[in-house]
Structure formats: structure tokens, C-alpha cells
Structure 1
Amino acid sequence: MGQGPGTGLDRRGFLRGAAGLSAAGVLAGLGSGAVTAQAAVRRRAAPAALSVQDWMSALPDSTPVQRLTIPGTHDSGARIGGPWVACQNTAVDAQLASGIRFLDVRCRAVDNVFAIHHGAFYQQLMFGDVLNACRAFLQAHPTETVLMRVKQEYSEVSAEEFRRIFTLYLDDKGYRPLFRLDGGLPALGQARGKVVLLADSDGLGGVRYGDPQLFDIQDDYMAEPFGKWPKVEAQFRKAAGQPGKLFVNYVSTAALLPPRSNADRLNPQVKGLLEGSEGSSWTGLGIVPMDFPNEFGLAETLIRHNVAGSRVRLTP
């Protein structure tokens, strides 16, 4: 496979400096073999420790992305505009550091660049800022990958014009090496150190977001919280019981109340289900985009659903 992201050389370099070194070795089968009997007893007795910044290091390269449980943010750049607009209260770099691995990026095409918008509200953020945050994070944590939905927002340029501007970012601005632009869903080893493009506009390349052959998406963004929760719960159960496609399960909704108020109602229910006696054993739940997940520790809850039956202690 050469010496790109996800190879043995990069992973050894990462493991030399990462927090939670021994735990990553235990979970991923990367231990040195030179373990004393006393150390082995300690390992069996204590939960394994793993940094939320490097949680994918515990998973084999052969893991298909559709078998992962991936914490994500809905409308990832939406922090400005008041309670009816803001969906997050942390910046993209902080989201990635907290364990988030799916970003929902909404781009307004204007003057050969993409401005990040939520509806009419400019978020004081440009697409290049998002890409710089991803590049810095993945350079520091090469075992990880970021899945990124790119969607046009608050502009009505043609798909051809949107594609032209996106290509400027790839080639004129130098971001092509950051992306994985293949059309199929990758195994984790093929995606490490890269942004996997989930293209929500024709002709961008990458994986076609919403392709029914690849995805199973629950995104009823106009269901009020009492109506939304059964849809969220059913999608979790379907993902756990009918693996195959890449499931996407939006916890977020825009109905009746501001995003934060809806999150205050829905996010604790997600946490209760996934940490309960039944849901705690589920794996392969797909992408779970959320509003304000940091307020409820939901990234950590979801990360634990990647290793069946494991006793994982996550550290910052």
C-alpha cells in the first residue's frame, strides 16, 4: 500500500507520541509482545484508555466505513445568527478534537469562493478555513479520517459552476491531496489521513451523498421532538440489525423550537438508549449528525459503539 496515511510506518510514528499508547495497542492488536505477567494482569483488570482524538487507531484498516459508528455534527459551521440559527457552539477544530468525524458543510458560492452559511446567515467562516482545520487535525492524527458532506446553501448557481469553484479549491488552492475523491465507500485503511468527500452536488467527484445503493438516511428535519425520537430510535435499530449500507441518522430537527432546545430534548434520549442494557451492545450505527453534541458527551458515547463488548475509557 506504500507509505501513505494508514500504513504501518505512519501508524508507528503516531503511536510513539499518542496518549493512551498501551490501550491503542490492546484494542488494535498492536502490542509489543514483551509484556510482563504483572502488566498483563493490570491490563485485564482496568478498562483500556484511548484518546478521543485518535479513537480510529484502535480499529483495523480492513474495517468498512459503513461498519463504523461515526459521531458527526449537523450544519457543522453554524454558530452565528442567534438561537434559531446556531446548531453548534464549538468550532470545527474543536469538534474534530472531541471525536467528531463527520462534518456537514454548507457552502454559498460567491466570487469564486465558498462562504459557509446557514440559510441567509454568513457564519464568518470560509470553506478554506474548514479545510485548513481538517488538514491540521489529520496531519497531527494520521490514523483518523473525516467524512465531509459538501452542499450548496443560500445560492443557486448551477451544478457546473459549483463544481468549477470546488475544483479551484482542489487545484489552485492546493487541497486535492487532502481529499479522497473515489466514488466508492472505502475501508478505513484507505481513508486514514484523508477527508472522504460525500458530494451533495452533481459532478464534484467523491461518494455521491444520498445514493440509495450506498446510503440509508433518516433526516426528517421538520419533525418535532416527540415525533422525531421514534424515527431516530428506529434508524439505530435498523443499522444494528440490518448492516450493509452506510446509515445516516440525523438527531437534529428544526421543528417548533430552536436547535438547542430540540437538542436538549433529543440528545439525552440518544445517550440513554445507547448506554442502556440493550443499545450498549450495538455496533456499526453509521453516521450520527447532531446539534450541540458536546453538551451531552455524545461523541464519546458513540465512539464506544465501534468495538463490541470492549471496556474503553476515553481520555481527552
Structure 2
Amino acid sequence: MSAPLTVRNLSSTPIELKLIERFGPPGGEEEHGIGHIKKFGALAKNVTSVFSDTESSPPKLADDAQSFARQDVNIRIEPWTTQHTDIAASERGPGEVLRLTFEAEGQPYRIDTPTPNPRSQVLVPLVPDPRHQYTGVFIPSETYLTLYSSMNLNCWMREFKDETPLSGLSIPGTHNSPTHHRALPSVRCQAVSPREQLENGVRFFDIRVQPGDPEDPTKDTLILVHGVFPISLSGNKYFRDLANDTLEFLDRNPSETVIMSIKREGPGEHTDQQLSMIMHDHYSMDGSRWHTAPWIPTLGNARNKIVLMRRFALDDRLKGEYGGRGWNIDAENWAYNTPNDTHGDVCVQDFCEVLETENIDIKIKYSAEHLERAAQMTCPIPGITTDAVNPVPPGPFYLNFLSASNFWKVGCWPEKIAQKLNPTIVEFLCTKHAEGVDGDGSTGIVVCDWVGANGDWDLVRCIVGMNSRLLMKEMGQ
């Protein structure tokens, strides 16, 4: 028997469950009189996401649908609280549709659960001019519904104050971000291009480059690589094009910023010091478009810019930059294969050697533990959570790599690991993340593989949605 309904409110507003309606299973004996449900594919995973998605509309019961049961209720759920109810998932058997109508500030919003559509959907407002937009994730195995405040993914940072330290935000990222081309299966880590990632909310890029002409200081060639391999079987791809694409996105969305972590990899003879001078002399000269200071900026100082995070050593000529503090945010030398290491301006989970499929569960454990470390952090916002004149310095970036692989094991290629890990992390965020903590409930920077595959941006949406507690503080709630 299914568990009774649980509702978790991770939005920034109180909501009330007001009405429960029950419908027979589509296609069953009770379909007569209740219409039909439009189908958008089979439910292929345990987590059924309900977020807005431009590719498809949420499946709906027909206009003439008639419920076989109706119950008025009044269950209030405050922001960032969970309400366990005695509402049964079904009354007559499996396959029933449970329609839930919520109310916020006197306006109703509706969702049907479960839904056969694993893509993102928006709760349906039942008024012409809704003041809010809500999203959610329904987990059928636990009859668990989590609700979020919706955000526009292509410009979600505009909701936050300029004074917000960048390390206080929950930020979706991608691992080996430009590796969406046809390549060796252990080299390819992404389903879609960096352009599409940006449009769907990703704000952290993990980039690996190989200096193409390291001995010639007049050349700016940086080849995109993953380890010793090129990222495409059809020819070299270049950092210059990626940087231009990112700056063009920021031109269209000046409220946003993109953190770029740069690391030197690839075959041949070249050094970190040569890479640092190429980046300094050929890419980041314009201070209005590149943040190169060796400290974590506020969002206001980072908007419309690429923020550089270095995983390379500096040339001696750059060590004296910024009053002797160096150049770029320091992420140079965290421990390899680490479940938790703090170095420079980052606190990192990067357990990457998943040699057997059984080890994926260990990776999930380390990833969840690091999410909880980030959740305990309280972001120092001048004038709100710290002194306006002499604010507490921001904490480090919590970098949480969901990526791992083993070239020799098909079940441990990046795509295969992401198929198991990504939905598991979605479920963790919805049901367990930040429960009972006093911090902001942040996720930190969550660095993912294969987000956006087949239009599935659920993990990105959940990460962005976890900013709501911070947003509430900034709004004085």
C-alpha cells in the first residue's frame, strides 16, 4: 500500500492545500465520463518532475473529466516546512489520478499526480493574472510532492541583490562543459551545447584546455580537451569560441554571471605558467567582462562577466597582481579523488574513481554529504545577515562534482553514471536536503554530467529552486 501524501514547501510563500479530487485510471473501466489524459511518453523513472518546460505542456485530464471523490481540506504549509497528511494515494486501486488544488494569497493553483510525463511542468494557475508561479516534483513511490517557486532559468540571478556573495548561491554547473560532441564515450560528458546549458540555468563551466602554441606568446590558441583526448572526433574545438558564446549570452542576459574553472590538460609540452599568461594577455584584458580578482565577488560585481577560477599555477609575473594576492579565484590544488577537501577558495567533493557500478552508491553518499555541508552555510549579506559597513567575508565555494567514470567499464561511463545519479540527487534534494539545518539550505555549486538529455532539466531546476530561503531573507521575510 502506498504511503499517505506528504507535501514539502520549498517555495518562498506559504501555501494551503484546499481541495482533493480523485479520478479513475485513464484507459480503465472508469474512463467513461472522465475523458482522457494526453500522453507525452512513458514514465521512465521514479522521480516525476513537475516544472515548466517549453517543449511540452503538462498532461491534463479532459475538460469533461468527472471525479469520483472530492474532499475539501485546509492544510497550511509554511515555506521550507514539510506536512505529512493522512490523505491516501488511492481509494479504489492503483492508477488513480489525484488532483490537488493549492491556494496562495487567495489564488488557486492545481496539479495532477502522478503524471506520465517525466519532463518539467508548471502548476496550473486557476486565475488569469497569477501573482506566483509554482513548480514541484512528485515521487510516486513515496506519494511525496515537493513545491518550489519558479524562476526563469535564462535569467534567474536577476532575483537577487547585488550585495549577495556569489558563493552563497545554489548554482548548477557542468563537468567538462563543452564535451557534447561525438567523442569517445568516456570523453563525452554532456548531452547539449554550452549555449543550451546557459539558456537553461547553468552558471558554472568546468573547462580543460591545451595550449596550442605554448612557446609563442603572441598566440592565443587553447584547444578544448578532456584528459589527453580532444573533445570531438571531427576536429579540434577552441576555447575562444566558447568564451565568445558565453559573452554573447551575457550580453543578452546582463543580470547573470558565469564562473569558469580552467584547468590545463592534453598531450604535448606546455606548463601552467604558460597557460596563465595566455589567459592574462589574450582573454581577460577587459575588466568589464572578466572578473580576475583573487577573491569571491558579490553578484553585483560579477554580473555580465565571466568569473575566472584557476586550477593552474601562476607565472611569477602574475603573483604580484592585486597587491600581491595573485590572480583569479584559487582552486589550484585540491586533493585528488577527494570526498571532502578545502583548498584556497573552494571546498570540494570530487570522488571520481568509480571503478565498479557498485561504487556509484558511494559516489551518491559523498555527493549528498557535501550538499548538506553547503546547506549549513549562512550567506553574509551586508545589512541583512552581517554588518553593512564591515561585513563578514564570504565563505568558500562548495564545489560538488556529481561526475565520475571508468573508461574500461561500460556501466561506469559518464552517461551511465548520470542516469542513476542525477535522478537520485533530485529525489534527495526534494525530500531530504537541508531538513533541520539553520543555514540557508544552499546546494553550493553542483557540477553535473548529462543534464538536458532529452529535454530533462529537472536537476538544474531543483538546484536553482534551492535559492528560495536566501531569497526570502533578502526580501525581508
TM-score above 0.5: yes
Pick the aligned partner of 2:241 from 123, 129, 147: 129
1:274 partner amino acid: L
The reply on whether 1:253 has 2:404 as its aligned counterpart is: yes
The reply on whether 1:218 has 2:349 as its aligned counterpart is: yes
Unaligned runs of 5+ in 2: 1-104, 108-126, 135-148, 214-218, 319-326, 333-341, 379-394, 473-477
Q: Residue in 1 aligned with 2:289? A: 178
Whether contact under 8 Å (2:371, 2:433) holds in the other structure is no
65-74 vs 150-159, which moves further? 150-159
1:121 Cα deviation from its structure 2 partner: 2.5
- How many corresponding residue pairs? 272
Q: Residue in 2 aligned with 1:145? A: 257
- Please state whether the residue corresponding to 1:165 is helix, strand or coil: helix
The reply on whether 1:231 has 2:366 as its aligned counterpart is: yes
The 1:179–1:58 alpha-carbon spacing in structure 2 relative to 1, beyond 3 Å, is same
Q: Residue in 2 aligned with 1:118? A: 226
CA RMSD of aligned residues (A): 2.6
Q: Residue in 2 aligned with 1:108? A: 210
Q: Residue in 2 aligned with 1:18? A: none
1:85-122 superposed Cα distances (whole Å, 9 cap, x missing partner): 11002111111111000000110111231000112322
Pick the aligned partner of 2:162 from 61, 68, 71: 61
What is the CA–CA distance in structure 2 between the aligned matches of 1:135 and 1:163, rounded to whole Å?
Answer: 20
The reply on whether 1:164 has 2:277 as its aligned counterpart is: yes
TM-score, scaled to structure 2: 0.53
Higher relative CO (CA 8 A, sep ≥ 6), structure 1 or 2? 1
Whether contact under 8 Å (1:240, 1:285) holds in the other structure is yes
Q: Residue in 1 aligned with 2:418? A: 263
Identity over aligned residues, as a percent? 26
The 1:186–1:249 alpha-carbon spacing in structure 2 relative to 1, beyond 3 Å, is same
Unaligned runs of 5+ in 1: 1-36, 312-316
Q: Residue in 1 aligned with 2:303? A: 192
1:129 partner amino acid: D
Whether contact under 8 Å (1:199, 1:207) holds in the other structure is yes
Structure with greater helix share of residues: 1
- Please state whether the residue corresponding to 2:275 is helix, strand or coil: helix
What is the CA–CA distance in structure 2 between the aligned matches of 1:254 and 1:238, rounded to whole Å?
Answer: 24
Whether contact under 8 Å (1:178, 1:195) holds in the other structure is yes
1:300 Cα deviation from its structure 2 partner: 1.0
1:160 Cα deviation from its structure 2 partner: 2.3
What is the CA–CA distance in structure 2 between the aligned matches of 1:306 and 1:273, rounded to whole Å?
Answer: 16
Pick the aligned partner of 2:462 from 301, 304, 315: 301
Whether contact under 8 Å (2:377, 2:441) holds in the other structure is no
- Please state whether the residue corresponding to 1:125 is helix, strand or coil: coil
What is the CA–CA distance in structure 1 between the aligned matches of 2:374 and 2:259, rounded to whole Å?
Answer: 18
TM-score, scaled to structure 1: 0.78
1:217 partner amino acid: V
Whether contact under 8 Å (2:330, 2:344) holds in the other structure is no
